[in-house]
């Protein structure tokens, strides 16, 4: 490598370091812009970045002939769980899709609703907040989704939206957790027929942030986390609806 190239490489590194330091100390690079970058390099709403994949998942859910009684509805946190094994029962359908927001779930609600489902377990919202959605907008989507799912007197179990872990999660987790807490307060006070609320944060995030023992990236659960979540479901709401 020539001396000129080495010099340019060193200058580039120094400029990058200086810009990063100024961004943090003087707030040159505000949080909303950082979150937009985060959305590009992590999971983005499926319909924005993975339209074909998202639509394929929706079509599969729509055409499924599995006569289950329980549907797990959510984003990647729900999608990654092997719920048949976790809950030790075969009458469970996983209706989570990676990257989903409450808006996307509302858009695909017709593929989720089935007359043979007796119980729906809902948990989502964190992707909305990483994309600057308001608590009120997410809560309104929850109400619309629940109204659709309880059409045939099915039971809806609303699970508290899971906190993230600031020690491991991407930028903005602290602010996201504030919104999640406000959303959960609203969800807990839902006054709708055939709707129950359970607080999964009580076992997964007892200190107000996701316990690092249950996650590798600060947002998604590891096997230990899923087992803890499934144990809590089995011990609380599902037994009441068997």
* pLDDT for res 26: 45
Q: What is the pLDDT of residues 101-120, one digit of tens each?
A: 999 999 999 999 999 999 99
97 close to 104: Cβ distance less than 8 angstroms: yes
* pLDDT for res 227: 98
In this prediction, the residues of the chain whose per-residue pLDDT falls under 70 are 1-51, 237-242
* pLDDT for res 238: 56
The DSSP bridge pattern shows strands 70-74 and 195-198 to be: unpaired
* pLDDT for res 24: 41
* pLDDT for res 15: 56
The DSSP bridge pattern shows strands 92-96 and 70-74 to be: parallel
> Can you read off the two tokens belonging to residue 22?
């100024």
């Amino acid at each position: 490598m020539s001396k000129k190239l080495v010099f340019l490489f060193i200058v580039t590194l120094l400029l990058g370091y200086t810009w990063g330091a100024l961004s943090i100390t003087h707030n040159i690079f505000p949080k909303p812009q950082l979150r937009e970058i985060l959305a590009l390099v992590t999971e983005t709403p499926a319909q924005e970045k993975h339209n074909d994949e998202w639509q394929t998942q929706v079509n599969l859910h729509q055409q499924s002939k599995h006569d289950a009684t329980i549907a797990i509805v959510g984003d990647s946190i729900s999608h990654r769980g092997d719920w048949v094994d976790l809950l030790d029962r075969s009458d469970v359908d996983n209706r989570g899709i990676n990257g989903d927001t409450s808006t996307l779930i509302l858009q695909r609600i017709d593929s989720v609703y089935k007359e043979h489902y007796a119980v729906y377990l809902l948990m989502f919202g964190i992707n909305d907040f990483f994309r600057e959605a308001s608590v009120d907008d997410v809560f309104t989507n929850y109400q619309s989704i629940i109204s659709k799912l309880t059409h045939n007197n099915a039971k809806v179990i609303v699970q508290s939206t899971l906190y993230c872990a600031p020690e491991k999660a991407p930028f903005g987790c602290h602010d996201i957790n504030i919104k999640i807490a406000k959303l959960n307060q609203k969800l807990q006070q839902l006054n709708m027929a055939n709707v129950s609320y359970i607080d999964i944060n009580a076992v997964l995030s007892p200190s107000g942030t996701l316990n690092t023992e249950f996650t590798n990236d600060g947002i998604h659960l590891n096997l230990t986390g899923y087992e803890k979540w499934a144990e809590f479901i089995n011990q609380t709401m599902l037994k009441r609806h068997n």
